[in-house]
């Protein structure tokens, strides 16, 4: 992430009074998107941002030049440019026949003219546009392009997938969409469109998983349904069984409901903590008895004891619960984009495998559904950090994402089928 992407920068920008220069740009694109086709709009966008002095509407060009010369431009111009992009993208998204235009608009930033060739008045604009390609706003646009790219006619082979950058696979992981496609300055219309994109992807994956699961249960099946994951058949069947099946007569969802009921009876937050660790670690300890008290479990228990210790004598409430679960997910998966430490997650995956590791995280968010977006955020941090790596270089992460897909879809998906 670029240092321009500081929270303070966006907070200062978003709290400013309405800026007439910026509004002029937005209104300009809002007007022309009603009167021009996508190709003409792309040309208009290019002419304004890459050759502003020759732009036919001098008032709009002057507004852009003035914006680029403000003292805050190095920090805040990216927000203006991003909103201009989405003024067009939000309309094109609603028309599938125009999705190609989104791809072409994003491509403009990969074919930038050299800054030295720009007119003196537009050199600063050219410099700022080139800097946009280093921001999180642009990275999110690239991820959107990856999702909207036409699918290959034939399914790539596992060997071909291994040679792809991880970023190419984002379309397959809808639980990443919110945190990988939206930025702190995203508007409401953009959020609605990404929510629609996610819902469509989750529904498609849920239906394909349900068909696969249903046919895998039939003894007379002749042509099994296609496997919608990168897990092999044995691995997918085991994952489906683990995330949806029963242990000691209860599914993970049943256990979460039971513990939620039980937690209402504890006298204080301090009393809750040790019980919570036991609940979370139980499936791992059942498979690997050493986790009843090994160094990982002791560290987890100690971390939780120190979490929000100032509330230890208070009864459990929703604020304490959600904040505790968020901090636990930081501890178990990854800390933050600024401090992406994920050693505990790698240790668990290496020591007990992907299913048991994801099972622990699943039990946490089944118990506290308000923490599920935070789990998705943690996985997005890992994905965004490694998205330029080739898949075969990060097999632990690829398989983790596949397990997260199966676990979340089968326990939170709404496809009209009970796994």
Query: Does residue 177 form part of some domain?
Result: no
Same domain as 352, residue 247: yes
pLDDT at residue 159 greater than cutoff 70: yes
Residue 154 has pLDDT above 60, yes or no: no
Helix (H) or strand (E) holding 181: helix 177-181
- Which among 239, 223, 221 is positioned nearest to 231, based on CA atoms? 239
Q: Give the best-scoring range by mean pLDDT among 87-101, 116-130, 150-164.
A: 87-101
> Does 17 score more than 60 pLDDT?
no
Residue 99 and residue 225 in one domain: no
Report the first-to-last Cα separation within the chain, whole angstroms. 39
Q: How confident is the model at residue 2 (pLDDT cuts 50, 70, 90)?
A: very low
Q: Whole-angstrom Cα distance, residue 357 to residue 335?
A: 17
Q: What proportion of the chain, given as a percentage, has pLDDT over 90?
A: 81
Is there a single domain that holds both residue 264 and residue 352?
yes
Is residue 175 a part of any domain in this protein? Answer: no
pLDDT at 221 over 80: no
Residue that wins the pLDDT comparison between 152 and 267: 267
pLDDT at residue 112, as a whole number? 79
Instruction: Please report which confidence band the pLDDT of residue 342 belongs to, taking 50, 70 and 90 as the band edges.
Output: very high
pLDDT in tens, 176-218: 999 999 999 999 999 999 999 999 999 999 999 999 988 887 7
Domain that holds residue 35: 3-151
Domain count, the chain: 2
Report CA-CA distances (Å) from 317 to 107, 217, 233, 275, 325: 49, 42, 43, 16, 12
Question: Rounded distance, CA 231 to CA 228, Å?
Answer: 9
Same domain, 374 and 258: yes
Among 110-119, 121-130, 153-162, 290-299, top mean pLDDT goes to: 290-299
How big is the chain by its Cα radius of gyration, in Å? 25
* Residue at a domain's end among 96, 122, 151: 151
Domain termination residue (choose one: 102, 127, 151): 151
Q: Classify residue 341: in a domain, yes or no.
A: yes
Based on the domain organization, do 108 and 210 belong to the same domain?
Answer: no
Mean pLDDT value of segment 61-70: 94
Residues 225-256: pLDDT tens digits? 899 999 999 999 999 999 999 988 899 999 99
| Residue 208 forms part of a structural domain | yes
Phi, psi of 165 (to 5 degrees): -65, 145
Confidence (pLDDT) at 10 = 62
pLDDT for position 214:
87
pLDDT over 50 at 1, yes or no: no
Q: Which helix (H) or strand (E) holds 246?
A: none
Q: Which alpha helices (DSSP H) does 71-176 contain, by range?
A: 73-93, 99-107, 123-132, 136-148, 158-162
- Assess whether 258 and 328 both reside in one domain: yes
Which of 91-100, 114-123, 128-137, 365-374 is predicted least confidently?
A: 114-123
Question: Across the strands, what pairs with 165?
Answer: 390
The pLDDT confidence band at residue 122, using thresholds 50, 70 and 90, is confident
CA distance 58 to 47: 12
Does the model's pTM come out above 0.75?
yes
From residue 334, alpha-carbon distances to 263, 331, 349, 379 in Å are 26, 6, 13, 8
Last residue of a domain, one of 102, 134, 151: 151
pLDDT of residue 20: 84
Please, which pLDDT band fits residue 11 given cuts at 50, 70 and 90? Answer: low
d(CA 190, CA 96): 15
Note whether 82 and 10 are within 8 A (CB): no
pLDDT of residue 19: 54
Give tens-digit pLDDT for 101-110.
999 999 999 9
Inside any domain, residue 164? no
The whole-number pLDDT of residue 222 equals 65
């Amino acid at each position: 992430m670029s240092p321009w992407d500081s929270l303070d920068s966006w907070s200062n920008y978003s709290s400013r009074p309405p800026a007439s220069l910026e509004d002029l740009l937005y209104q300009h694109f809002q007007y022309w998107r009603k009167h021009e086709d996508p190709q003409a709009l792309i040309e208009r966008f290019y002419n304004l941002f890459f050759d502003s002095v020759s732009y036919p509407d001098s008032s709009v060009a002057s507004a852009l030049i003035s914006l680029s010369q403000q003292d805050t431009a190095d920090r805040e111009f990216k927000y203006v440019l991003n909103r201009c992009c989405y003024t067009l993208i939000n309309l094109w998204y609603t028309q599938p026949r125009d999705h190609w235009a989104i791809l072409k608009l994003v491509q403009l930033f990969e074919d930038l003219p050299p800054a030295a060739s720009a007119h003196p008045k537009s050199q600063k604009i050219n410099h700022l546009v080139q800097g946009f390609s280093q921001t999180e706003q642009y990275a999110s646009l690239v991820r959107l392009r990856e999702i909207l790219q036409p699918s290959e006619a034939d399914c790539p082979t596992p060997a071909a997938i291994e040679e792809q950058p991880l970023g190419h696979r984002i379309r397959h992981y809808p639980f990443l969409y919110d945190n990988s496609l939206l930025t702190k300055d995203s508007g409401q219309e953009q959020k609605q469109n990404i929510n629609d994109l996610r819902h469509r992807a989750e529904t498609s994956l849920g239906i394909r998983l349900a068909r696969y699961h249903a046919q895998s249960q039939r003894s007379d099946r002749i042509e099994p349904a296609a496997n919608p994951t990168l897990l092999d058949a044995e691995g997918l069947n085991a994952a489906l069984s683990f995330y949806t099946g029963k242990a000691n007569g209860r599914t993970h969802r049943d256990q979460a409901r039971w513990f939620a009921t039980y937690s209402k009876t504890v006298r204080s937050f301090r009393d809750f903590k040790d019980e919570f660790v036991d609940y979370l670690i139980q499936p791992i300890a059942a498979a690997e008895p050493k986790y009843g008290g090994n160094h990982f479990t002791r560290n987890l228990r100690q971390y939780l004891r120190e979490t929000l210790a100032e509330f230890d004598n208070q009864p459990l409430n929703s604020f304490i619960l959600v904040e505790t679960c968020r901090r636990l997910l930081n501890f178990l998966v990854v800390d933050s984009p600024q401090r992406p430490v994920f050693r505990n997650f790698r240790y668990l995956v290496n020591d007990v495998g992907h299913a048991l590791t994801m099972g622990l995280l699943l039990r946490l968010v089944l118990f506290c559904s308000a923490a599920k977006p935070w789990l998705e955020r943690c996985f997005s941090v890992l994905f965004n950090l490694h998205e330029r790596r080739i898949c075969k270089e990060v097999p632990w992460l690829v398989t983790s994402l596949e397990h997260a897909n199966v676990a979340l879809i089968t326990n939170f998906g709404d496809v009209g089928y009970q796994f």
